[in-house]
Amino acid sequence: MSKDEVIVRFENISFEYEPNKPILEEVSFSVRKNSKITIMGQNGGGKSTTFGLIIGKLKSEEGNIFMPSGLTIALSRQVIPRNELDLTVRAFFEKAFSDAISAGLRKDTGKIYDIDPRIDTVLEVVNLRGHEKMHERIIRSFSGGQQARLLLASALIQDPDLLLLDEPTNNLDKAGIQHLTQFLKDYKKTVMVISHESDFLNAFTDGVLYLDVYTKKIEQYVGDYFDVVKQIAVQAEKENRKNALLSKQIQENKDKANFFANKGGQMRLVARRMRDKAEELEESKVDTRKEDKTIRSFTIPFQNVIGDILKITEFSIINPKTHKPVKRKVELALRKNQHLLLKGPNGIGKSTLLESIAQGTASGSHIAPGVTVGYYRQDFSTLNFEDTVYDSLINVTKDTKEETMRAVAAGFLITGDLMRSKIGSLSEGQKGLVAFARLVLQKPSLLILDEPTNHINFRHLPVIAEALSTYEGAMILVSHVPDFVEKIRIDEVLDLEK
């Protein structure tokens, strides 16, 4: 393939998951060889759908997708499917190859030879160095951040012509993001990335596909991420100015038409011409760009508790060298209006500790009787994927009234048909918004949050940060996003590495 060759071209592609619920309408764009493309858009706007169409998992209702024969494609998914969590590392990578072959994304046949050295090489690339028994470890035994690295590695090991990355920075610590950024800068082939991390994207992007959730179209831009954001803002301002001028001219013609109409006689013909002119100007108005909707400001209510809500005298971490648990002593008590930031690199045991505290099984941790715990898990496993959104929200508490529930849901952009959808059918970002709506309805005294920025549209993050900062109960937060943490009031930090 030549450098300027187009390796993906969408021509008038339309797609809908359900009748009369379009996701994409007559979308056209092209991706050239060796380009680094970012896909932008609101949660549920069709970003992951676009990837699904490229790999052939989804089929469009109309239009055509053109790709060169023999093009190899690999997708780094957002989460590891539950049916793969009990695989060994070796079996996980072997399955990545076999799935790609079955899907027609590569032409290899038969067994993948010499996979162990290839696994070692790719684990080094994603900064997930192992020990001699790494290939036999069960996927479930890895932390969320380590699983994110494994997902990335399962795509990189295939050395594809087209690399598709869906939210690759989720759960990654600072070192992991830096490692991934440098890899993408050095990668000599084509990359398409979905992410909400602006600084990460700007480090390597040379083009953007912008999904407009209102028009169902994809607009193509050239330039880095920040350049494109500026272009979109300038275009919106230009459209608004043009429409404002037209509105002024329309009103002037209507006023003149009313004036001449009252004169009678020949003046009525002049009035008609003025009205016709106003209608022509109305048709000249352009559809102004609508920014992605942002969730409304919200408060997470809490049930007042006197005294200590949570006491921690001991906790366990995972030794990064031996991969065995090590106990640590600590004297820590959280009362209402106290916020704790839990820090540490991927794999040290942050998520394991949060889960054991939330479930009341953590050795050395004690939650006061009667305390309601609101737990936001990074993999959304606190949600029942078979429930509808309506059932998931109405059943949070026994005294939840439907009117109250719907009002809360609307603040998180959960309305209409979305209420009847199953949790499992939602995008990862929409699942996150459902999880936040549940916390508001739950009114917890202790709030435990594990990577609450994952999958969430960047426009929502300042609103969420403000709600967490003003939360008046006890809170434990884990987040690898410094800009997000800086916006939240933190009273104490527990660094598990130290």
Over residues 169-226, the pLDDT tens digits come to: 877 777 778 888 888 888 889 999 988 777 888 889 989 998 887 788 888 888 888 8
Given this model, what pLDDT does residue 378 score? 85
Q: For the chain, what's the residue count?
A: 498
Residue with tokens 């009341």: 360
| Domain coverage including residue 145 | 6-229
The Cα–Cα gap between 144 and 254 comes to 62
- Residue 289: which pLDDT band, with cuts at 50, 70 and 90? low
- Residue 117: which pLDDT band, with cuts at 50, 70 and 90? confident
Beta strands 365-367 and 325-334 are unpaired
Residues 87 and 214 in one domain: yes
Given this model, what pLDDT does residue 9 score? 94
Mean pLDDT calculated for residue range 394-419: 88
- Structural domain total, the chain: 2
Mean pLDDT calculated for residue range 441-468: 91
Given this model, what pLDDT does residue 111 score? 60
Residues 95 and 210 in one domain: yes
**174-183, 242-251, 413-422: range with highest mean pLDDT:** 413-422
Residue with tokens 């858009």: 41
The Cα–Cα gap between 395 and 136 comes to 41
Q: Which of 129-143, 157-171, 260-274, 279-293 has the lowest mean pLDDT?
A: 279-293
Provide the CB-side half-sphere exposure for 225 (13 A, CA): 20
Over residues 26-55, the pLDDT tens digits come to: 999 999 999 999 998 776 778 889 999 999
Residues 222 and 364 in one domain: no
Q: Residue 139 falls within a domain, yes or no?
A: yes
- Residue 1: which pLDDT band, with cuts at 50, 70 and 90? very low
Q: Residue 305 falls within a domain, yes or no?
A: no
Q: Give the three-class secondary structure for 25.
A: strand
417 contacts: CB under 8 Å, gap ≥ 6:
18, 21
Give the rounded percent of residues in the chain with a pLDDT score beyond 70.
94
CATH number assigned to the domain comprising residue 373 = 3.40.50.300
Residue where a domain terminates, one of 229, 260, 285: 229
Residues 208 and 109 in one domain: yes
Residues 321 and 215 in one domain: no
- The amino acid present at 143, given as its one-letter code, is S
pLDDT reading at 100 higher than 50: yes
Strands of the 339-343 sheet, one edge to the other: 373-376, 446-450, 474-478, 339-343, 492-495
Instruction: Read off φ and ψ for residue 69, nearest 5 degrees.
Output: -65, 135
Over residues 44-98, the pLDDT tens digits come to: 778 889 999 999 888 988 899 999 988 999 998 878 888 899 999 999 998 888 8
Given this model, what pLDDT does residue 132 score? 59
The Cα–Cα gap between 448 and 188 comes to 41
Given this model, what pLDDT does residue 178 score? 84
Tell me how far CA of residue 466 lies from CA of 54, 435, 460, in angstroms: 38, 17, 10
pLDDT reading at 288 higher than 60: no
The Cα–Cα gap between 287 and 229 comes to 19
The Cα–Cα gap between 382 and 404 comes to 22
Mean pLDDT calculated for residue range 471-490: 92
| Helix, strand, coil shares, percent, the chain, to 5 | 40, 20, 40
| Residue 225 host element (H or E) | helix 225-261
